[in-house]
Amino acid sequence: MKRSSIAVLLLSAILLSIIATFLYDPYLLYSRFYEYMGMPNYQAAPNSKPKPDIGEITVCDEQYPEWRKPYTIGGIDIQASDACNPDNPYEVAAFVRGTNNVIMPVLMRTQLADDAVVKSNDIDGDGDPDDITIRVEVAELNGRSPDGKELIPGYEIAPGITPGAWVFAPKSRGMATVNRVDLTANHLLRLPSAPIRVEEGDNVTLILENTHYFPHTIHLHGVDHTYSNNDGVPQTSEKMTMPGEQHIYKIKPRHAGTMMYHCHVQVQVHMMMGLQGLFIVEENKPNNWLQTFNVGAGKVRKPSVGVLEGYEQEYDLHYQGIDTSLNNLIQTSNDPRQLAKKMNRLYDITDGTDDYFMLNGRSFPYTLRESLITVEPNQHTKLRVLNGTPEMLALHTHGHKATITAYDGVDVNPLAQITRDVYDVAPAQRIDLDLYTKDDGLHSYGEGVWLMHDHAERAITTDGIAPGGNISQIVYRKYLNKNAMASGEGEDVMPYFSPEYYKRNLPTWMASDVFGFFDDVGERGIETYKDVILVIVLGMLLAVLLLLCKALYSCLQTVVAKLKNKS
Amino acid sequence: MRPTVLLLLLSLFITSSYAGMRMGDWGMVMNENIEQLPQGCESVAGEEKITIKAGREYAKEFPGTIFGYSQHEFSFPKCTRVHVTFINEDKIRHQFMIHGLPAYLHPQGMFHMELYGEGETTGTFITPNTEETYLAHCDVAQHMEKGMKAQVKVGGGNGNLPSIPGISGQLNRDIYEFDTSFVNTLLTIILLLLGFASCLFFFIWRKK
């Protein structure tokens, strides 16, 4: 091809590019173009996309609303609960009496094994049993199945969000899933690992039955226990409990307080996978029948005698974080050898960041179903807070300044107690709070629906989408509606119950934005004669570029031929 | 309302001598069927006795599993009374649960044996008059996935279920790394060259 034709092609390419830019936006070529051409014509911005249909949304998926009322089962008084999904009172009764002491119809209404909580022998003669045997198993949530893509047993922390997790759970019986078709985990298998309560001075036998496919132990963090074969630390005190084995921990705690338990095998992995829970030693009191497990944490339906002396009600609040690059590893393989390598050696927690933030095993809005703190005016509510995340927790209670009565299970001298509205809790630390609803402008600013959340701002999001994370509410009971939710004066919470919201598919202010000011923008199409010409010119430009390529190729060919001839 | 009705039903269920429910601190056997004939069976055609052992011991044979049964496939003729002896060799809970049986004989189609720890129990069921393969497994979380899965073929069955150790493969497959040892790499290269050469030869030969 001639050199002149290449020049022509180059020239036309440049010319077409200039025309295209001019058609697209002349001000890219020269910013003061309007001085010569006048102002551009009005062209309407694209219309908004129609508001997405979020389908039917269930705010409270209540199954047994009758469980909310107070019960007396087997002589055990069980407090009312305002939660959308309250604890099964029969199960609470079985935990309080012991699974060995309840009648068959009660046990049949739970899914507990007969030997889950065995209570006997009132040694000190104060009206409550002192020999307590507690059996815990290790369960996986949202694990992989070799038979399909569905996670088993399934557990949602928030709409459509199913990270992998491991938990300590009371020994159960029957199926791990609801049935063969619904692969959701049965209600005993859930985050967080169930809080355990024992009495000061009890002979407690805690049996770890390792039903999981990795080795585990239990370390009784802060609980008075002897060292030998009892501390749960594989490097120092005992061998790991292998799959299919059990380990017996024997304690007789001399000091009461809010403590914790966690697995001490590969702690940076196993604790973050969820093998951590509250372990509470209650003061020794007469007739002190304790609720050994508080499945799902939250409201304690049968508080101890000691707690009831100073408080009307009690809540366990367990904060946890999830790094999906760790937790979802269990969904990548069914082979434990591969999982062990990925989790222990390839995952690097120093590069990790948490994506999900949970209060009592759920993120907002599911916290509203289980973890509302419902109060009456002039009431003392005891909150036991555990920070199970690897970062600081800066818990903030709107409208209230609560008093920190204990750190790590040790009471604070009443004269030195601090009343504040942001409670900083270090990882693995526990604080006891006295939430006093006296409307005095200090302890409470009055009745209402008040937010309660970690003020480290990432923690109010679910993978960056707010509101999510560990947000919950302190609700004065008169604001509760029949759906067991708070009727506030704010925006509708409905869209947050749609999985689409956390998939980033719903405009954030969708429900409240009637004008559609902030809806998703539609795309631009070919609308004016300028657009038509622009596309045609772009087509021409493509053709010229193609021809240029061809010319360049033949040029190279002739060069090669010449070189060959020379040699 | 609902709790009282449930309670009544449950108490009926428990006191009934027919229900086939045994439970204790050892475990439980649920929905046993010793007497009742499945539809289409004129009589009990025969008796069979099997022993199933459960534990991590039986996982050794199958790499990548943690728990297992002593046997992962059972075959029975139709209308046969099967006496199952279930032995748990681990110190944790295991189950032997058969699914999909006729619901008029077994509530939810389930025959369920469970041991809370080391021990032994027995249970009985009668195979239906069908040619079907039934799922048997342990439904403690992740035990089936990690090896405790078996199949019960009645009247020859109707094929295999997926991911039964030693019998069938996974539908949601695990991915393993390539073996880069000398022999395996050499073999791979030879096979690749064989394919490459045969293809070249085929085209050149055709041209000629």
CA of A64 vs chain B CAs: smallest distance (Å): 9
Burial class of residue B208, CB neighbours in 10 A (0-12, 13-18, 19+): exposed
Confirm or reject contact between B90 and chain A (CB < 8 A). Answer: yes
Per the structure block, which two tokens stand in for B128? Answer: 């239906």
Q: Judge whether residue B16 has pLDDT over 60.
A: no
CB contact under 8 A, B174 and A338: yes
Mean of the per-residue pLDDT values for chain A? 94
Model confidence, pTM: 0.91
- For position B20, what pLDDT does the model report? 66
CA of B98 vs chain A CAs: smallest distance (Å): 11
- For position A36, what pLDDT does the model report? 84
Q: Judge whether residue B10 has pLDDT over 50.
A: no
User: CB atoms < 10 A from the CB of A156, how many?
Assistant: 18
Tell which A residues from 102 to 121 touch B, by Cβ distance under 8 Å: 104-105, 108-109, 113-115
DSSP-derived 3-state class of residue A422: strand
CA of A247 vs chain B CAs: smallest distance (Å): 10
DSSP-derived 3-state class of residue B69: strand
How large is the ipTM?
Answer: 0.89
CB A435 within 8 A of CB A397: yes
Residue A381 sits at φ, ψ, to 5 deg, of -120, 130
- For position B37, what pLDDT does the model report? 95
CB contact under 8 A, A108 and B10: yes
- For position A482, what pLDDT does the model report? 86
- For position A33, what pLDDT does the model report? 80
DSSP A105-124: HHHHTS-B-TTSEEEE--TT
Q: Where are the alpha helices (DSSP H) in A202-301?
A: 267-270
Mean of the per-residue pLDDT values for chain B? 90
Please name the member of A115, A213, A333 whose beta carbon is closest to the beta carbon of B66: A213
Closest CA relative to residue A437, chosen from A482, A403, A470:
A403
pLDDT in tens, A334-351: 999 999 999 999 999 999
Question: Residues A460-497, buried b or exposed e (16+ Cβ, 10 A)?
Answer: bbbbebebbbbbbbbbbeebbeeebbbebeeeebebbb
User: CB atoms < 10 A from the CB of B155, how many?
Assistant: 18
Distance CA A160, CA A192 (A): 18
- For position B19, what pLDDT does the model report? 53
Q: Confidence band (pLDDT; 50, 70, 90) for B21? A: confident
DSSP-derived 3-state class of residue A43: coil
Q: Confidence band (pLDDT; 50, 70, 90) for B208? A: low
Per the structure block, which two tokens stand in for A307? Answer: 């707690």
CB A260 within 8 A of CB A222: yes
CB contact under 8 A, B174 and A109: no
Please name the member of B6, B140, B174 whose beta carbon is closest to the beta carbon of A334: B174
Q: What count of Cα atoms within 13 Å lies in the side-chain half-sphere of residue B104?
A: 5
**Beta strand pairing call for A449-454 and A418-420:** unpaired
CA torsion A340-A345-A346-A347 (nearest 10°) is 90
Per the structure block, which two tokens stand in for A524? Answer: 């631009």
Tell which A residues from 204 to 243 touch B, by Cβ distance under 8 Å: 209-213, 242-243
